[in-house]
Structure 1
Amino acid sequence: MVNYENVIVTEITETLTFFAQSVESGSKLESLMSKLHADFQSNPPIAGSYTPKRGDLVAAQFTLDNQWYRAKVERVQGSNATVLYIDYGNKETLPTNRLAALPPAFSSEKPYATEYALALVALPTDNEDKEEALRAFSEDVLNHKVQLNVELKVTGSPNLATLRDPTTKVDFGKQLVAEGLVLAEQRGERKLKELVDQYKAAQEAARVAHLAIWKYGD
């Protein structure tokens, strides 16, 4: 089923998953952030008074702007912790004294950024080719308003989604395949057959034209 949602892509990972926020909930997120920042400005936490554990939902003071954001602790190593900023999708390792307990008023709302996997494509194995593919994908979609459709729900992993340009309707994943930057993924689900066929055709055209990863043929 095709049901496009307007989103902003906020983060891309090196495995070609990405985080997206719904455009519709933008004002709610802004309101939440304003309240959170104001709360921490008027009641600054005592540095070092909080001991984080893996899996904790916390407030973390982001290095670039020193503002506080909601985050999940992914790892604690000594006096440092790696956190995922749940409303944006970016990660950071920072000293544990830049973490604080998240006030209960801010813990009930679900994360505003959702992780997805780009459907029906796979990164090439060569590191330089991989970097080139990620760079091109970032240029196309990062911090842009695009349309997202969930193609396949996956239990225990990010759902598979396609992204397209709201104006030109260009499918960004298929475009990467057509430019020879990524591989078309072979999947057997019946509901994906039409899309799989389109991606395979785009890959074959790129291979015949010796584009990017196909410059030496197969």
Structure 2
Amino acid sequence: MLTLWPLRKFNSEVYWKIEGYFFHWLLAMVSLWSYSAGYDIVEVGDDISDCLEEKTLIIANHQSTADVPLLFACFNPKKNVLPNIMWIMDSLFKYTNFGIVSVLHKDFFIMSGKAKRDQSLQHLAKHIIDAYVPLKRRWMVLFPEGGFLRKRKAVSQKYAEKMNLPKLENVSLPRVGAMQVIMDTIGPNSTFNNNANMTAKTDNNSTG
């Protein structure tokens, strides 16, 4: 991608198209880990084909690192999903071997901890407007539990006991901060979507 960096200045649309292909191919290779380990992915439930070209929030339980290649395997055969996806992940992953790939793809690295929570959520809202929207991303993946189950379970159950909520064994209680920001920023009732709808109506009236 560094070789193609000058192209971003002269024709950003072509640059991001190529980047999307590369990103898809890389994630497709990772998705093979599941198959090479003997796992077959079976999807059940409603037909989600209507969501493929729409802005869609994917909320995934996070049991372990194995979740990620499993999601890759699910997304890989779906047309135009992986090139146009945005992942929200812990900021620590920026410094892993795939961190640079996610940085170049404009994924979002969220900071954990009470001290940085508000600032990180503000950065998320800005990133959605500055990157997700102009790059015409479609699917956005959020792990609402904020970490692996084995790390979050004890804290989740302690909070559940304090707030008189069910103690969950197989998942932890979700954090709603990031989801609330996403919905407030580009959700159905967000200012962004209302402005977009008003613009579309104005254009239609002008055409008519």
In the superposition, the TM-score normalised over structure 2's length comes to 0.24
Higher strand share: 1
**Structure with greater helix percent:** 2
Structure exhibiting the larger radius of gyration computed from Cα positions: 1
